Amino acid sequence: MADLGIVQCIHGEQPGVSEDKAEQAFLPILSEIASDFPELRIVLEHISTRWGVFDVGVLPANVAGTITPHHLWLSREDVFHEVGSIKAPWLYCKPTPKSPLDRAALISAATSGNPKFFAGTDSAPHWPEFKALITPRPGNYCEPTALETYTQVFEMAGKLHRLGDFLSVFGAYFYGLPLNEVSITLNRTPRTVPTDYDGIVPSRARETIPWQVQT
């Protein structure tokens, strides 16, 4: 892959480990791959823990990581009951949202201006019948509100001036792609997210978001 210039994109969770520890358990493998193949560009997709943030930050420049809007917005208690059962199946995804400390680390990384961290939505819609199973299919349908959620998070952190690089520049540079010449405008106009889109529940259903994409 390195010889062909192909980026290795990794969903970094160790099989056979509980969901809340699976990413952390995988990180030694990530470090080993990065060390063994220093010319290979690696993306740890949809980082969900403070340990993932730390490892991507300290590993060499050939390692980067994406951060989703829902991991910046949700914590474990938004998805699970205290006993561990799922209370919001439409929010259930893998890797699962973690603790408020993990979310704070993700927000800090995303808004830091560090080019090793950039946007990746990992939007994954599923029909309601698959979300109604005892073990719902993992996937968060964040696409309808992704840009608005990123914008809201950056605004709350006082880092709106860094949003453009996180969304549009750092990822393109890491992949060696030209910057997009088309622009998107977001207006600070509140909108309430619908309950569903064609029957599929979005991650921020019924919430009012202070931003919306200009159409």
Please identify every residue annotated as catalytic.
122
Whether 32 contacts 46, CB under 8 Å? no
Question: Cα–Cα distance between 140 and 164 in angstroms, integer?
Answer: 23
What is residue 14's three-state secondary structure? coil
Residues 107 and 98 sit within 8 Å (Cβ to Cβ) = no
Question: What 3-state DSSP class applies to 117?
Answer: strand
- Using the 8-state DSSP alphabet, how is residue 121 labeled? -
Tell me the C-alpha distance between 57 and 49, whole Å. Answer: 12
